[in-house]
Copies of this chain bind each other. A is one copy, B any other.
Amino acid sequence: MSEAIKGRSRIALSPGALLAPLPAVLVTCACPDGGGGVLRDVVTVAWTGMLCTRPPMTYISLRPQRYSHGIISRSGEFVINLPTADMTKKLDLCGMLTGAKADKFKRCGFETMSSTAVAAPTIADCPLSLECRLRKPDGVDMNPLPLGSHDLFFAEIVSVTADSRLMSESGALRLDKAGLVGYLHGEYYAMGRYAGKFGFSVKKKQNTNL
């Protein structure tokens, strides 16, 4: 089932989740346990992305069975922590264990700190953290929105914190120095060589030769 074009041929695959690269992030959450204590969890998520620039809206999709699903549904908040490639084993583990049985923060040795705008903790080991609050768009009945295997949590990014070592002397965020990791068809990869800056194709003397 292939179509040849000038020596190229194309194979049809079964339709599936082959978009890549995707973010691979550690989502933290917390809510009261009803007895004066706190339930908290950290879960690995690749089904996330940017939905809108203004307001800055993102989402995470979680299976309803996930321990974190219940906590986020109750608290209405979560934090998206971007891990480094050096943290990949811990990143993977937080997707394999359930917070119902294991304290994944302890298991991974994560250092947590208070977030600035939400009750969910920030993972200090992560170079960048996006603090999010659920926000149901007009025209949507439920948040989370059930889609099938996953429920979609719509959220607004309400605060961002970064490791101060990522800031240049002029105060610019150098996220390229963070050593981030991405998810690609069931595998994790560090980010590699620089390939260009947004808008570079029309900058530099309007040289748009390709």
What is the interface of chain A, defined by CB distance below 8 A to chain B? 2-3, 5-6, 8-23, 25, 46-59, 61, 80, 82, 85, 88-90, 92-93, 95-97, 107-109, 111, 113-114, 116, 122, 124, 128, 130-131, 137-142, 145-150, 152, 156-164, 166-167, 173, 175-176, 180-202, 208, 210
In the complex, chain B residues whose CB is within 8 Å of the CB of A5: 111, 113, 124
Given known contacts A2-B164, A148-B55, A195-B181, A200 and B89 CB-to-CB distance under 8 angstroms: yes
Copy number in the complex reads 2
Expressed in whole angstroms, the minimum distance between the Cβ of A157 and any Cβ of chain B is 5
Partner of A210, one of B9, B57, B80, B90: B90
Given known contacts A20-B82, A148-B52, A12 and B161 CB-to-CB distance under 8 angstroms: yes
Given known contacts A10-B163, A159-B15, A88 and B22 CB-to-CB distance under 8 angstroms: no
Q: Do A199 and B111 have beta carbons less than 8 Å apart? A: no
Nearest opposing residue in chain B for A2, CB measure: B164
A161 to B1, CA, bound (A): 10
Q: Do A139 and B137 have beta carbons less than 8 Å apart? A: no
Q: Do A11 and B162 have beta carbons less than 8 Å apart? A: yes
A164 to B49, CA, bound (A): 29
Q: Do A197 and B186 have beta carbons less than 8 Å apart? A: yes
Q: Do A150 and B197 have beta carbons less than 8 Å apart? A: no
Q: Do B141 and A147 have beta carbons less than 8 Å apart? A: no
Q: Do B201 and A20 have beta carbons less than 8 Å apart? A: no
Nearest opposing residue in chain B for A57, CB measure: B147
| Most interface-central of A16, A51, A97 (chain B CB within 10 A) | A51
Q: Do A148 and B89 have beta carbons less than 8 Å apart? A: no
Leading 6 A-B pairs by shortest Cβ distance: A49-B49, A192-B192, A93-B201, A139-B141, A92-B201, A52-B147
